[in-house]
Structure 1
């Protein structure tokens, strides 16, 4: 089918009579070839009255193609003019053929002639046709031609600029060449001038962006660019398709306008809200580091400022830096407040540490982890030195020196049935088993108390999980064999002579086989032990469920943290091992649930002390102990007939609830014994609170929802928007808690047709304390010129959206209605 036939078919679908003028008689052959069903062809040659009679009287419903050759008559001489005006003229020149193809009127022929190269490609014509609306004029069609030229789905100058800038950032000049080829360059730049007040004899996308960035940079040159440009940049950063190119352009402009030099004289207060350039984040981080090191900024101000940076463009790239700053600031603040804490009794110390002060060790771990994630960038190096000094000297050393006074006064080790590790089975396991409820006991080696606290918080934020944490006190010495044995059902613990191996009622506690035998023998349940790796290999649906059905009590053992820390070559990665353990344990709990397990306990054999820096000689004790030594470790000595000096605290096995015949020496405070070849930064076995306080996390999987999210509302004092700036106060109605989770929202002002009229505001509402007014967060929305133009006096929505979990999409959360009533004076830029 040729183009003429195709065009005629489309015209006859809407019209009964088609007039075809072929003045130069160039298309006579094509006319003869046309053959359309139910269409009568008539070559009009002086028979106008006969044609009019045939069409109007003889066949008033039929379809007719009237073909004319020779000069077209003037209107006053055209006997068929009334019919021509009532029906349709078929034009066969190229421009008009394209217009007909797109369903556009003949009056737009000059537009096509002006942009012939654009219309030559059928693909471009078809794409433009998709965008066209009824009654589109020259201006609207050209505007939509730009969408085709830039390959965007949005008909928006902002989007065209984003696409153009993104292409430029990759060194691609295609759009510039296309605009020139399609004769759209002049129109494109006139639109940019109209909206942004940009003028240049030789306009270019980079020159325009240079002026936009410069005008909006706090230390830039104000150059007459319209304030609407702020919205251009804001929307660019929030656009999924183009946002990555913002960074490339920003980096280039930062060099060309010498941002680094301008930032040298700035301070953090003036920069905290700006995110035009990556250098701003570097400067802010640099300022944070210096202020924290010199105690020149409060912890509250650090948290406030980092929160302001949280949703800025570059935050994701610098997240580990900001997290390092937050953890460092929080840890230092807590050490300053609690570092010299003293206790009157053993129970007071363990309880206070488990309730409050464990957080210092948690924050230190999180700092080191974040610091390492940043690749230990030199900008954080001095902060890391400060953190290490405060943690080691002002916290670990002073706190445990004070604690040593309590240890020195002990005549026996903890025997409180509620908190003693040796009473774990009878106090916490047996009651569950006696109720005929299946129980899974997960023992993660060296999973110290602060790790358990963080895991509990993670579990409490998981829907349909109930989790609580309490503390236990490990056996002393706090080493693996004794801790693991203490968690099993037993009557008597003993240490095999000449070694550090532990026996339960004469049975070996080593390995899975030994522990399974003890569980089978000493528990009143169908019980077994299994390695975590073997458990995780099972298929949940078949093999796993068959395994679980055989038992009422399953002990599961995992050794990631201790294995990493105890190896001198890997001890510096121990905090990464903790993070990996969190993921592993969460996966394990879900697998247990898939095997019809609903009751779980997570605990540990002992804690640990870890200092990231290499230790000084003063951290090691010179002990002159004598006697028959069975086992000598950095943090404990086992043997017989041992004598000691002031460097160690001595215990008899009876004082530790271990069968008589063993002597135990523990180095005081956090000191290490000099042992050849052993790692020294990761240690355990002693009596520090970090080593002996261990978590007892009880978990139940429920069928009911256990979590909700905080509700967000706004303070709305008016329903009219009268300026291009709308200040909105967002209120977090509840405080975040164990079961009330944070909510992330993004907010934007939209017209009822979906057009976005403002910048986007993104915020994670996670405030944990304070009154409702103290949970107020303000944002000033910048409205586009369309708000006072096309959409003036219309109703608009302030839409709050939240992310759809597991996707990059958003769903509506709340909406609030306003009426636009912006005065024309708001379109003047600071005049």
Structure 2
């Protein structure tokens, strides 16, 4: 509905003799609305005066003689003074007809029962108030109790910004900042022109900005919101800091906590709103570029308690941390990364850099805590690996995962990150090599050929794990290293099925063609050429393996992972009615032989995702009670180039040679090589005595095959394989994760409390998640909203992933200086888990 058009009709309806209605559009508002009118009733002519006096007069008297004429004169074409009126060429017609008047303010006030004090304001603005756009915006907001000049001026400004709904001041200011830095020149020019023409709206906007920022927009500047953006940026960063004499931006300093509260709301809205955040951050970067983060850091330092962090503020902080602290004090670096991560938007690309630095710090923390790697017994080495060192492998892999994510985007500290990554590569290579040097030295000195490790043997897997009393699925995931399986266990902890993990010892060589087939039931394993026969047959295909399995368990079948996941519902259900199914999963090994750094790391992540889904479906969808997951071998991985000088040259005659092992009939000593009788380190029988030679430590041999990703040797990473047993049963968990506060010195600043909760242990097979409710009370009266939080992290290795930041905002005025934070279990809101005193350092204002 077009209100002005209807009012025009009413003129003619009230005055049947009216021929021409003259409209003198003083502000351009009427023309703007009438331009959107597509249809006029029969008998009406709408014309915008184009300066042709004679043609217009002729048309009125002749062409439009039988019509009702609506003649609009834009600014500059109609008389203003009495003298101009006397010279108005159509004065005779004007006197014989009528002029459109915006004189509805009295009826408007009467309609809404508005107080008399608003008469002047409404009279001045009635034309704009009565326009259809403003009426639609104000619809539902106008009555005698809620009407205010501020309300109407916000409607005007909302309209100028192109919105069809009433905006609050936070959104208006955010959009003004965005518009002032936009490339849409016409839209920006039109906004400022319309705002400047409405004196009430422009004064209201100016007063609001002055009250908040002490500065306002400057109509004479090309960037009109520049000072506002600068003040906003400066105070968002430094509001918790006392001004120092060398601060060249201190003229912007705001000390009022109530004002800071409102400024924080503006900044949070701008940076977190899904539709506005990207444009707002970019606009702030442009308008507030003279508030230089590097200058703030020069004044206050990298360790200052900054309230908000812009990306530009993070770069110099991150650079100094990587350059000077990462290796020297990784514990402190890890804490800083947690703080930074919580203060930045979750989708900021800096989060990837933070994750890289955090994982690097965890890697160094773990390495520093290893203690001696020279142990007395092979069992001690195995225990060292499955309790401590596997985390070194895991953190190295996760750091590389983050690194390969971050290198896809440019960043100003790219060189420093590359240096840090290369340093970590070298550190990992050194410590992994040292561990395995000592490990193999111990094995050789004991002369036990891995028989005293305390681990079950891979070739006994089927005999140990098969269960003839239930349907069973056995998953063999090629190259699923123990540390990757441990991360998979964290994922499985979220499910209702119960899972456990045990380490087994793989055969040598730790090569797929030997180890994978040893996991099938068998009576004998025999070397034929360079292949291994199972019960006298080389099982090269899935069909051959199925035929072999059926001999031990009738109806048993071997399938590929892809065939299971791509199968239709009927065939899959039939498949898992069989008593025993072997599923061969090759994601890691298949992708990693390409030696692409990205492929190796991403394949591990992909395998965790695939296997967690597969196990869940086996239990929940396909009704399999008993699932066992294992690997044929692990792997060594170094994300660095292996030069020819780093590859061990072997002159021994060999039956087969790869980068991590070779088979030979010679038992002669070779420097840098440990030799084991093949029949002593595996269940493989040979027609003639053979030895397997493996390089000490983590060295590679000069041979065909991969160097970055390698297996076949006797390192702990290659030999220790996981066996995960998952049972379909509802959890018997009775204990929930514990919670505690990170800091007990709680202060309400700018009408809000930010605090961090720690989930004290990971969700596991024995400990369940906990849902909590957080709220602040004045006595027994809640003064903030309730915040519900689910503590469900399964990460047992990184405390940072079990820290949650909570923000509670005051919702009512509170005069008490001491309040109380209470945190309840959602299932018991009578007995708080935590009660903590909160100092109220602010008074809230409700006029924003």
Query: TM-score, length-normalised on structure 1?
Result: 0.75
Counterpart selection for 1:674 from 702, 717, 723: 702
- Could you tell me how far apart the structure 2 residues matched to 1:382 and 1:747 are? 43
What SS does structure 2 have at the residue aligned with 1:649?
strand
Residues 643/92 of structure 1: CA separation in 2 closer, same or farther (3 Å cut) = closer
Counterparts in 2 of 1:259 and 1:147: CA distance versus 1, 3 Å: same
**2:152 corresponds to:** 142
| Matches of 1:369 and 1:131, distance apart in 2 | 53
Match of 1:156 in 2: 168
1:485 equivalenced with 2:525 (yes/no) = no
In structure 1, the residue matched to 2:617 is 591
Q: Which residue of 1 aligns with 2:232?
A: 212
Q: Is the 8 A contact 1:463 1:706 kept in 2?
A: no
Match of 1:514 among 544, 547, 550: 544
Tell me which moved more, 307-316 or 398-407.
307-316
Q: For residue 478 of structure 1, report the CA deviation from its aligned partner.
A: 0.5
State the match for 1:563 in structure 2: 590
Give 2:415's aligned residue.
Answer: 378
* Pairing 1:637–2:637 present: no
Q: Quote how far apart the aligned CAs of 1:707 are.
A: 9.1
Please, which of 177, 186, 194 is the counterpart of residue 203 of structure 2?
Answer: 186
Structure 2 CA distance for partners of 1:180 and 1:802, relative to 1, 3 Å: farther
Q: Using the alignment, how far apart are the partners of 1:779 and 1:504 within structure 2?
A: 59
Superposition deviation, residue 367 in structure 1? 0.9
2:286 aligned partner: 252
Aligned to 1:47: none
Q: How does 1:426-437 map to 2 (within 5 A)?
A: 426-428=463-465, 430=466, 432=467, 434-435=468-469, 437=470
Q: Give 2:341's match in structure 1, choosing from 284, 293, 310.
A: 310
State whether residues 271 and 345 of structure 2, in contact with CA within 8 Å, keep that contact through their aligned partners in structure 1: no
Secondary structure of the residue that 2:722 maps to in structure 1?
strand
Deviations 1:533-580 (A, max 9, x none): 11111123x22102222x111111121211222234x35521111111
Q: Does 1:502 align with 2:559?
A: no
Which secondary structure does the structure 2 equivalent of 1:269 belong to? Answer: coil
Paired residue for 2:676, among 632, 651, 675?
651
CA deviation after TM superposition for structure 1 residue 646, in Å: 2.7
Please list, as runs of the form range in 1=range in 2, the aligned pairs for 1:107-146 lying within 5 A after superposition.
108-142=118-152, 144-145=154-155
Work out the CA distance in 1 between the residues paired with 2:381 and 2:307.
Answer: 46
Corresponding residue for 1:605?
A: 632
8 A contact 2:558–2:581 mirrored in 1 = yes
Equivalent-residue separation in structure 2 for 1:197 and 1:257 (angstroms): 16
Q: 1:249 to 1:369 in 2, by over 3 A?
A: same
Q: Deviations over 1:670-713 (max 9, x none)?
A: 1221115x321111111010110111111234345859874668
**Aligned counterpart in structure 1 of residue 433 of structure 2, from 373, 397, 402:** 397
Q: Is 2:649 the partner of 1:622?
A: yes
Counterpart-to-counterpart distance in 1, 2:677 and 2:790: 58
Question: Within 2, Cα distance between the matches of 1:481 and 1:158?
Answer: 65
> Structure 1 residue 794: deviation in Å?
15
Q: Is the 8 A contact 1:797 1:815 kept in 2?
A: no
Q: CA RMSD in A?
A: 4.7
Deviation at 1:278, TM superposition (A): 1.1
Cα distance in 2 for residues equivalent to 1:557 and 1:759: 49
Distance (Å, rounded) in 2 between the aligned partners of 1:668 and 1:318: 40
Mapped to 2, the partners of 1:572 and 1:653 lie a distance apart of 35
Task: Give 1:442's aligned residue.
Answer: 475
Partner of 1:738: 764
SS in 2 for 1:666: strand
What's the CA shift for 1:473?
A: 0.7
Contact 1:565 1:682 in 2 (8 A): yes
The aligned length equals 715
Residues 681/418 of structure 1: CA separation in 2 closer, same or farther (3 Å cut): closer
The aligned counterpart of 2:43 is none
What residue is the counterpart of 2:400 in the other structure?
368
Distance in 1 separating the partners of 2:475 and 2:152: 68
Name the structure 2 match of 1:424. Answer: 461
Question: 1:123, 1:391 → 2: CA distance?
Answer: 66
Aligned pairs for 1:570-581 within 5 A:
570=596, 573-581=599-607
Which is worse superposed, 662-671 or 469-478?
A: 662-671
Deviation at 1:362, TM superposition (A): 0.7
Q: Does 1:452 align with 2:491?
A: no
Residue 176 of structure 1 corresponds to 192
1:246-273 Cα shifts (integer Å, max 9, x gaps):
32133224532233344356643126x4
Deviation at 1:480, TM superposition (A): 0.4
1:157 Cα offset (Å) = 2.0
TM-score, normalising length from structure 2? Answer: 0.73
For structure 2, the 5+ residue unaligned runs are: 19-100, 239-246, 409-413, 827-831
Task: Write the distance in 2 (CA, Å) between the matches of 1:104 and 1:458.
Answer: 63
Match of 2:33 in 1: none
